[in-house]
């Protein structure tokens, strides 16, 4: 156990992680010699085919050096706004050309984001972030100009959370676009976006966003603390961050909510939650998360409330089915046959007549095959995906039953369970639920209903003991906040949901004044 703990626990200090700029002294600065400066960078970017050094002459001598990484910038912008002014200026024989780099953006460079630095480390970092560096002869400063132009995907409907009614834009792999998608929805200066760079080699930009005045300042501080604590060579997706900042890393339930939908992020920000955006990841993290957030789809809030409430109840029903249907089948048919109505017991018995396996093995087998099919369906190229489903349906649905290897009721139960797991709107949450089925199935096969009750109670105990950034996971059911159940058990009309959830929005509890229920008389009054 000790060894296991030691193995799981990451050590402090990370001597083996190479740092980005270790080749060069951290404090080294540019010299005033342009050729010398060029040499520094040529050495640093040795064997990098995409670095471009462009020298611009003035009066027959190299006067400016423009450096950039062609793969990261929009070269059109460089041509238009850096090179063209510099070159045309030379031909105009303007003798009031400043010798200082600082003055470059006053005279030539017509771009917004510029900065002056002399540190090699900074220049390298910015070059790698899609900036261009402009060096002037005889000056130890470089002007960094933002000309980012990495290829990006267009905004598409998020494939993991599709809706029928509701906005269809989803996050993409570019963080500034993603930030824009949120800004577009919440137009207030109180929406803050704190940036932090993580990953020694990837230098990934991570943005913590929240609305001041609604969010609890201590939770923001906690998020900052947890995020800045991360030391890793590279961050390739927000999933990396999620695993670093979770409260209970061994729980099957996700404690950080991840979404591809900007409208979900906006809604959660308005409830006083905090979103974490990660560059190169279309998935935005939201903390704190509750159990019930896993059961809510964004579309719940866009369709009319009776339908949304009904759909929620269906989900509650099917989450139970997703966990307990196969275990219940196994437990009842192997331990409690007296509980089944006589006619049903006879037909189950007849379908099991030729089956060689015990019911537990049968159910486990089918569940595993189903999971494999599902996994194969996700990973396969789309063209072959269809073949898999046909083979799966034929082999498992029909041939196995006809051959008497698997009984028909098990196939029915497993398919219902499979469908049930897909009714859960949050993908990571559904995964947790799917996983829980197996231990409970095992318990049911060994202990019967007693085992199922045991399993149910331990899940309940676990869920109620979880916390996400100080918020109890099962709230508002446990601890109970009756007024917040309006958005859990029901989905009350928007005009009746006057308060923010108490767990996250108690700083600023009201989101709208009461009494906005529409009625004919109200309409009359307003027209008067």
Please report, as ranges, the residues that interact with another protein according to CB under 8 A.
Answer: 1, 333-335, 337-338, 342-343, 345-355, 358-359, 445-448, 450
Taking the complex as a whole, how short is the minimal distance between the CB of residue 368 and another protein, in angstroms? 20
Q: Show the beta-strand stretches assigned E in 232-304.
A: 257-259, 274-278, 284-287
Q: How far is CA 487 from CA 48, 162, 466, 490, 498, in A?
A: 55, 21, 20, 5, 11
What is the smallest separation between the CB atom of 362 and another protein, expressed in angstroms?
10
Q: Report CA torsion sign: 323, 247, 503, 479.
A: positive
DSSP three-state, residue 484: helix
Closest CB 332 distance from another protein, rounded Å: 9
Residues 6+ apart with CB under 8 A from 126: 115, 117, 133, 144
Closest separation in Å from C-beta 452 to another protein = 14
In the complex with another protein, which residue's Cβ is closer, 349 or 460? 349
What are the respective helix, strand and coil percentages of the chain, to the nearest 5?
50, 15, 40
Closer residue to another protein in complex, CB, 338/528: 338
**Least Å distance between CB 328 and another protein?**
14
Nearest residue (CB) to another protein, 328 versus 355: 355
Contacts of 445 (CB under 8 A, 6+ apart): 327, 330, 331, 334, 358, 359, 360, 363, 364, 451
Between residues 1 and 164, which has the closer beta carbon with respect to another protein? 1
Minimum distance of another protein from residue 363's CB (angstroms) = 12
CB of 450 to another protein, least distance (A): 8
> DSSP code of 103?
T
Geometric angle at alpha carbon 170, from 169 and 176, rounded to 5°? 105
Residues in Cβ contact with 246 at an 8 Å cutoff, skipping those fewer than 6 apart:
255, 256
DSSP state string for 348-362:
HHHHHTT--S-HHHH
Q: How far apart are the first and last CA of the chain?
A: 76
User: Which of residues 310 and 450 has its CB atom nearest to another protein in the complex?
Assistant: 450
Residue 197 CB, shortest distance to another protein, in Å, is 39
Q: Closer CB to another protein, residue 335 or residue 469?
A: 335
In the complex, least distance from residue 334 CB atom to another protein, rounded to whole angstroms: 5
Q: Determine whether 128 is exposed, middle or buried from the number of CB atoms within 10 Å of its CB (0-12, 13-18, 19+).
A: middle
Mark 370-396 as b/e (b = at least 16 C-beta within 10 Å): bbebbeeeeeeeeeeeeebeeebeeeb
Of the two residues 70 and 349, which places its CB atom closer to another protein in the complex? 349
Q: Is the Cβ of residue 266 or residue 355 nearer to another protein in the bound state?
A: 355
Interatomic CA distance for residues 286 and 221, integer angstroms: 15
What are the C-alpha distances in Å from 439 to residues 408, 443, 451, 496?
23, 6, 10, 41
Phi then psi dihedrals of residue 172, to 5 deg = -125, -170
Cα(35)–Cα(135) distance, rounded to whole angstroms?
10
Shorter beta-carbon distance to another protein: residue 305 or 357: 357
Rounded to a whole number of angstroms, the minimum distance from the CB of residue 354 to another protein is: 8
Q: Toward another protein, which CB reaches closer, 341 or 518?
A: 341
């Amino acid at each position: 156990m000790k060894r296991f703990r030691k193995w799981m626990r990451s050590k402090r200090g990370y001597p083996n992680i190479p740092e980005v700029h270790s080749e060069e002294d951290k404090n080294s600065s540019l010299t005033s010699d342009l050729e010398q400066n060029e040499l520094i960078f040529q050495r640093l970017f040795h064997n990098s085919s995409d670095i471009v050094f462009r020298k611009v002459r003035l009066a027959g001598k190299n006067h400016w050096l423009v450096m950039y990484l062609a793969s990261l910038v929009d070269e059109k912008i460089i041509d238009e706004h850096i090179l063209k002014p510099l070159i045309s200026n030379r031909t105009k024989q303007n003798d009031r050309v400043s010798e200082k780099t600082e003055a470059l953006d006053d005279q030539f460079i017509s771009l917004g984001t510029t900065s002056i630095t002399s540190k090699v480390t900074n220049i390298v970092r910015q070059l790698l972030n899609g900036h261009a560096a402009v060096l002037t002869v005889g000056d130890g400063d470089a002007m960094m100009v933002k000309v980012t132009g990495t290829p990006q995907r267009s905004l598409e409907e998020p494939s993991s959370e599709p809706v029928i009614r509701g906005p269809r834009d989803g996050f993409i792999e570019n963080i500034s676009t993603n930030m824009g998608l949120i800004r577009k929805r919440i137009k207030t200066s109180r929406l803050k976006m704190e940036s932090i760079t993580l990953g020694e080699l990837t230098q990934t930009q991570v943005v913590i966003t929240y609305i001041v005045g609604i969010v609890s300042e201590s939770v923001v501080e906690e998020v900052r603390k947890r995020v800045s604590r991360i030391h890793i060579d590279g961050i390739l997706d927000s999933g990396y961050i999620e695993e670093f900042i979770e409260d209970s890393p061994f729980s099957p339930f996700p404690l950080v909510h991840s979404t591809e939908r900007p409208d979900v992020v906006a809604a959660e920000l308005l409830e006083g939650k905090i979103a974490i955006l990660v560059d190169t990841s279309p998935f935005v993290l939201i903390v704190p998360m509750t159990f019930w957030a896993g059961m809510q789809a964004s579309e719940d809030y866009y369709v009319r409330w009776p339908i949304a409430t009904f759909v929620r109840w269906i989900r509650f029903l099917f989450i139970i089915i997703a966990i307990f249907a196969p275990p219940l089948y196994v437990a009842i048919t192997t331990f409690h046959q007296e509980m089944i109505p006589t006619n049903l017991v006879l037909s189950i018995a007849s379908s099991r007549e030729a089956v060689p396996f015990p019911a537990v093995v049968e159910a486990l087998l089918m569940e595993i095959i189903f999971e494999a099919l599902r996994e194969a369906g996700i990973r396969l190229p789309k063209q072959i995906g269809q073949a898999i489903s046909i083979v799966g349906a034929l082999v498992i649905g029909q041939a196995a039953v006809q051959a008497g290897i698997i009984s028909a009721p098990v196939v029915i139960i497993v398919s219902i369970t499979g469908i049930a797991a897909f009714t859960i709107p949050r993908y990571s949450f559904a995964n947790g639920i799917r996983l829980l089925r197996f231990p409970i199935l095992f318990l049911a096969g060994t202990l019967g209903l007693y085992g199922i009750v045991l399993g149910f109670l331990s899940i309940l105990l676990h869920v109620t003991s979880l916390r996400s950034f100080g918020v109890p996971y099962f709230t508002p059911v446990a601890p109970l906040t009756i007024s917040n159940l309006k958005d859990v058990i029901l989905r009350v009309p928007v005009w009746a949901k006057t308060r923010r959830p108490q767990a996250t929005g108690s700083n600023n509890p009201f989101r709208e004044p009461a009494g906005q229920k529409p009625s004919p008389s109200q309409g009359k009054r307003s027209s008067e």
